[in-house]
Amino acid sequence: MSSEPPISEWPIPDLLPADLPPEPPLPQSFYDRDVVQVARELVGKRIYRLSRSGIAVGRIVETEAYLAAGDSACHATRGMTRKNASMFGPPGRAYVYSIHARWCLNTVTQPRGVPSAVLIRAVQPLLGIERMQRRRNLERTIDLARGPSRLCEAFQIDRRLDGWDLSRGRRLWLTPDPDVPVPDHRIGNSPRIGVTSAFELCLRFYLRGSEYVSGPKRLRT
DNA sequence: CTACCGATTGACT
DNA sequence: GTCAATCGGTAGA
């Protein structure tokens, strides 16, 4: 796989329909805070991915926080390796890692050297749905980005974006919710899915009632 | 080099 | 609900 050339600068012209006005990317200061707060506030935010094959946009509907301390499920608990180095870098970068032959996307939070991150677990596709369908070889919109590795496939996110600066509005970035902010009562909270330790920590956040959230139904309401 | 492991997924009962 | 394929990363010989 060859690396992508820089193909866009913020703001992106002509790529978005008129009813989806572009917003500036979330700044580094958004990510430079407590990881749990960031995880909760990322629900409802938008994710933009501009690659050679075009643009894809979605709404984040599910996240999980991974803590710097006291969290045995966090990849950083046993120190820095080449794989998790992005978690130890500045906030506002992507941390993309592989698991079970697939990729997962995190946003690094907290000050540099405090290894915490938010896993993006599910996204509601908004734009570029046909593109996602081709990448996933799947029709059902609900399943295109419902799951951390599914969304990476739909948005063409892999190892090349590990360490990517999300605050610059190029290739991969997040923006505020242009609609009414998600009210507190629509944000659900539960233990994290799939982890083999630290079950007791309720660090998963999701848009309550959304069909685009992963997990069994009882973890979507 | 080999021997695991896993923040998953898709197929199946 | 169960189960195994998947492969990059890590640790250790």
DSSP conformational letter for A209 = T
Residue A64 lies in a domain: yes
User: Which residues share a beta bridge with A127?
Assistant: A57
Nucleotide whose C1' lies closest to the alpha carbon of residue A66? B7
Tell me the C-alpha distance between A138 and A105, whole Å: 21
Q: Is the pLDDT of residue A9 over 70?
A: no
The nucleotide lying nearest A137 (C-alpha to C1') is B10
CA–C1' distance A25–B9 (Å)? 31
Residue A11 placed within a domain: no
Q: What Å distances lie between residue A89 and A31, A40, A42, CA to CA?
A: 12, 21, 20
Determine the structural domain holding residue A37 and report its residue range.
Answer: 29-212
In a domain, A184, yes or no: yes
Instruction: Give me the number of domains chain A comprises.
Output: 1
Asked if strand B contacts A110 at the CB level, meaning under 7 A, the answer is no
Confidence of residue A103 (pLDDT cuts 50, 70, 90): very high
Q: Report the distance from CA of residue A117 to the C1' of nucleotide B11 in Å, as an integer.
A: 32
Answer yes or no: is A23 within a domain: no
CB-strand contact A117/B, under 7 Å: yes
CA of A99 to C1' of B5 (A): 10
Nucleotide nearest A102, CA–C1', reads: B8
Give a yes or no: residue A189 inside a domain: yes
A162 located within any domain: yes
**CATH code of the domain in which A98 resides:** 3.10.300.10
Q: Give the model's pLDDT for residue A141.
A: 96
pLDDT digits (tens, 9 = 90+) for A166-194: 999 999 999 998 777 888 999 999 999 99
Task: Please report which confidence band the pLDDT of residue A3 belongs to, taking 50, 70 and 90 as the band edges.
Answer: very low
Mean pLDDT of A142-158: 98
Q: What's chain A's average pLDDT?
A: 91
| Helices and strands (H and E) in chain A: how many | 5, 8
> Is A8 inside a domain boundary?
no
pLDDT at A178 (0 to 100): 79
pTM: 0.92
Residue A63: inside a domain, yes or no?
yes
